[in-house]
Chains A and B, each alone.
Chain A
Amino acid sequence: MPDTLRGAAVIVGIGELKPERSRPGRDVMSLLTEAAYRAIQDAGLTKEDIDGFVMDAGMEGASGFNTTMAEHMGIYPTFATGCDAQGAAGVTMALQAAAYVNAGLAEYVLCGMAAAIDTGGRRRPAAPTRTETSGSEFVVPFGPTVGANGNYAMIARRHEELYGTTVEKRAKIAVDLRYNANHNPMAIFHDTPITIADVVNSRIVADPLHLLECVMPCAGACAFVVTRADLAHGMRHKPAYILGGALGISRNNLQYVGEITVSPVGRAARKAFAMAGYGPNDVQVMEIYDSFTITVICELEDSGFCNKGEGGDWIQAHDLTFTGDKPLNTHGGQLSYGQASTAGGCAQVTEAVRQIRRDGGEHQVPGPTDLIYVTGSGGSFSQQGALLLGSDATL
């Protein structure tokens, strides 16, 4: 057994469903099964080969979800665990699976998650009205906000006042990512270009965040298969190695402790880079978790791509499109590819695999794609992960 996971595991199969505003008649099990079938087939494996699961039951939570999925897919593994990492689930699962295959617990681990919106129309996420938890008793009576919007608005406001990161600066992220989506047929906003003015003039969702700075709820699914490096030799695709990774677990509530503009991905990044033996300057492509524009700015700073407070200027100085000098969220990001709940973060992992394979098609990065930095982010900078994926060239 290796003393670290560096290069010890490979993502050998990926499968996604295109994010849509709704998928009538489809539940989480159905969507996840379809994405999983795609991932297993992409790997060139059979159902019988899969002997491990890491499944995320979704934001609603479900008990016995691995057995539900076993029954649904007709796959009965000998090791299975869940993952409760919210938006960091994709990165977290990749590391869980890498550890399992190298500990001899399983050989081919299927990871996945899905989000269903079955209304036939558009789902508007409900605001919390219950006040019996420690997280709600001292928040909801003052005015609940939808999802994490209020918290990220607080982060954005503080970053803006401390460092001058205005909407005009943040907007470039949304615009560059939309350009990427305009070249990806799987992206929900494939057909709609936007400009800086469109972002700045879009309505305020949670002041100071504008509509085009925020993700939109989608239905969809994402899955991938991880195996041990020696087993990956000779499989269908060019291997995408896990070179380094770590998580940063922080507080559940944003407001009580710590500087709210600092995200725990910093701790994860330092450890992930150390494991991989690379630094931020070596990274060729970035897939940075983008629930909001401000999320990307804080993660770039905390991951070491620039100093704290300089993220707004850094993105002005670089071209983040897939043809640019700092390709970022090459599939369009969650802002423009779509965020099917936690599957949105997972799609940033599978997109990195696609870029390493040089299978990006119209949105393939023309330059080298042998070292890709991926992040995941759950809650309100509550739990984050950093993952470095590479090819034979960076192994």
Chain B
Amino acid sequence: MAATQQPATQVYTKPLPTPSSVSQPFWDAAKEHRLIFQRCRLCGTRVFYPRDICPGPQCFGVGSLDWVESTGKGRLYSYTVSYQPAHQAFAGDVPYVLAIIEMDEGWRMTSNLINFGSQDALRIGLRVEVVWDDVTPEFSLPKFQPFRQ
């Protein structure tokens, strides 16, 4: 999978994740460019954001969520194009696409859609794949681009 590198001279000023003990494995895997999510070993429910309790409809699982690696492929579920960043650090990125991605394993996450060319190419249902943005030595952010076979 492709990776993008921030120029070493540039200081990264955007908000970074603040991992908890529960979410730390996600960011550890991200550093290795592996996209992981959780699945309940009792009921099979797929879970994201990371947590330690299963929210499955029939399930009372505590500590029952296992980390599973995603294929990194999914579809664009919905999106918005940001023209005015609410946070100044994103000012240089506008217009950028904030998106909900539905992964093939049936879980969703918020991310950015990048490398899509023209906005006319954006459609709900668009096939996408993860692409890693190594924003700092500690953090790689999973972003998505159109999937090219």
Give A residues with C-beta under 8 Å from B.
126-127, 129-132, 134, 137-146, 150, 153-155, 157-158, 161-162, 204-208, 253, 255-257, 260
Binary per-residue interface labels of chain B (6-48) against chain A in the complex, 1 for a CB within 8 Å, 0 otherwise: 0000000011111110010000000000000000000000001
Chain A residue nearest in CB terms to B90: A143
Nearest 5 pairs between A and B by C-beta? Answer: A127-B86, A153-B80, A132-B18, A207-B81, A154-B78
Selected contact of A150 from candidates B14, B80, B108, CB within 8 Å: B80
Given contacts A137-B17, A137-B19, A142-B98, contact A129 B82 (CB under 8 A): no
Tell me whether B83 and A255 are in contact (CB under 8 A): no
Other-chain residue from B49, B81, B141 in contact with A256 (beta carbon distance below 8 A)? B49
* A154 and B17 contact, Cβ closer than 8 Å, known pairs A143-B96, A255-B108: no
Residue from the list A132, A155, A158, A255 in contact with B109, Cβ < 8 A: A255
Do A256 and B108 touch (CB < 8 A)?
yes
Q: How far is the CA of A158 from the CA of B83 in the complex (A)?
A: 19
Per the bound structure, the CA–CA distance linking A126 and B82 in Å amounts to 16
Give the A-B pair count, Cβ closer than 8 A. 106
Known contacts: A142-B110, A154-B100, A255-B110. The answer to whether A134 contacts B51 by CB under 8 A is yes
Known A-B contacts: A134-B50, A150-B98. Give 4 more (CB < 8 A): A138-B109, A141-B139, A143-B87, A143-B96
Residues of B within 8 A of A (CB): 14-20, 23, 48-51, 77-87, 90, 93, 96, 98, 100, 107-112, 123-124, 139, 141, 143
Give Cα distance in the complex from A130 to B18, angstroms. 8
Is A137 touching B23 in the complex (CB atoms < 8 A)?
A: yes
Q: Which of B20, B49, B141 contacts A141 (CB 8 A)?
A: B141
Question: Which of B80, B81, B124 has the largest count of A CB atoms less than 10 A from its CB?
Answer: B80
Q: A160 → chain B, closest Cβ, in Å? A: 9
Do B17 and A161 touch across chains, with their CB atoms under 8 A apart?
no
Q: Are B15 and A131 in contact (CB under 8 A)?
A: yes
Q: Decide if A131 touches B80 in the complex (CB within 8 Å).
A: no
Q: Please, which residue of chain B has its CB at the minimum distance from the CB of A160?
A: B124
**Interface contact A158-B17, CB-CB below 8 Å:** no
Most buried by A among B15, B20, B82, B123: B15
Q: For A138, list chain B residues within 8 Å (CB).
A: 17, 48-49, 109-110
- Contact A158/B98 with A127-B87, A131-B15, A144-B15 known, Cβ cut-off 8 Å: no
A256 touches B48 (CB 8 A): yes
Find chain A residues with CB under 8 A from B82 CB: 143, 145, 150, 206-207
Q: Bound complex: CA of A158 vs CA of B78, how far in Å? A: 6
Give A148 Cβ to nearest chain B Cβ, in Å.
12
Which residues from A are CB-within-8-Å of B15?
129-131, 140-141, 144
Q: How far is the CA of A205 from the CA of B81 in the complex (A)?
A: 10
Chain A nearest CB, measured from B124 CB (Å): 5
**Is the CB–CB distance between B112 and A142 below 8 Å?**
yes
Question: Are A158 and B124 interface neighbours, CB within 8 A?
Answer: yes
Q: Which residue of A lies closest to B19 (CB)?
A: A137
A161 touches B123 (CB 8 A): yes
